[in-house]
Chains A and B, each alone.
Chain A
Amino acid sequence: DTGVSQNPRHKITKRGQNVTFRCDPISEHNRLYWYRQTLGQGPEFLTYFQNEAQLEKSRLLSDRFSAERPKGSFSTLEIQRTEQGDSAMYLCALTTPDSSEQFFGPGTRLTVL
């Protein structure tokens, strides 16, 4: 148990629909990261938060993607007008304040038909 839960674990949607994923840390962590991983590849950084502040966004994060961490605890990642190329595993990870070691959630597997 890494102390991170993600919901839903699986999401199947039709192209053009909006989807929202949620990441819940069990305890307080001040930095929260989102990554995207396609089959057989390493995760790619999308964005990260320090407390409520979104400090960096990857170029991978098009304007159809938005992430929030309203109270500095849980976070949501929304994809609007999904495309087939959005199909991937979306991973959330947390770190403790003085470390770069990341603890990953189980991920949300998105399939866009």
Chain B
Amino acid sequence: TQLLEQSPQFLSIQEGENLTVYCNSSSVFSSLQWYRQEPGEGPVLLVTVVTGGEVKKLKRLTFQFGDARKDSSLHITAAQTGDTGLYLCAGAHAGGTSYGKLTFGQGTILTVHP
């Protein structure tokens, strides 16, 4: 069974601070995706990382994929109150009848205080 461990589970910070969320897998997925979810809504895709060592930036968000493609991190610089939400990492399965199926981490609930 492929598992994703996400940490921390809760993060409460002040506006302007930096933070990092970690996602570690017991095995390799074909890609790793990060989603953000607001209460009462479905997850929204932020980024997909595929290649080991890959770094992607989305404004104040930086996503890294480990060389072994088993771990990833999300770093937010100068957090804003609008960043508040549930952040989810998800691994995509490679092939067979499970192709494209996502296994999610348990999520990180981020609260940014003004």
Comparing A13-21, A35-43, A67-75, A77-85, the segment that makes contact with chain B is A35-43
Comparing B40-48, B52-60, B63-71, B73-81, the segment that makes contact with chain A is B40-48
Contact residue range for chain B? Answer: 20 to 34
A106 and B42 contact, CB distance less than 8 A = yes
B88 and chain A: residue at smallest CB distance = A42
User: Known interface pairs A41-B107, A42-B104, A42-B105. Does A104 touch B44 (Cβ–Cβ under 8 Å)?
Assistant: yes
Whole-angstrom CA separation of A17 from B81 in the bound complex: 41
CB distance from B92 to the nearest CB of A (A): 4
B102 and A102 contact, CB distance less than 8 A = yes
Whole-angstrom CA separation of A107 from B45 in the bound complex: 15
- Chain A residues near B107 (CB, 8 Å)? 40-42
Whole-angstrom CA separation of A91 from B93 in the bound complex: 19
A63 lies within 8 A of chain B by Cβ: no
B103 and chain A: residue at smallest CB distance = A45
Whole-angstrom CA separation of A4 from B45 in the bound complex: 14
Whole-angstrom CA separation of A103 from B44 in the bound complex: 7
User: Known interface pairs A42-B107, A101-B33, A102-B102. Does A55 touch B44 (Cβ–Cβ under 8 Å)?
Assistant: no
B100 lies within 8 A of chain A by Cβ: yes
CB distance from A52 to the nearest CB of B (A): 15
**Dominant secondary structure at the A interface:** strand
CB distance from A106 to the nearest CB of B (A): 5
Partner-A contacts on B (CB < 8 A): 4, 6, 30-31, 33, 35, 40-45, 48, 86, 88, 90, 92-93, 97-107, 109
Question: What 9 additional pairs, Cβ within 8 angstroms, besides A40-B107, A45-B103, A105-B42?
Answer: A33-B101, A35-B104, A42-B107, A91-B43, A100-B30, A100-B33, A100-B99, A101-B45, A102-B33
9 interchain residue pairs of minimum CB distance:
A104-B42, A42-B104, A100-B92, A100-B100, A55-B97, A42-B107, A56-B97, A104-B43, A107-B42
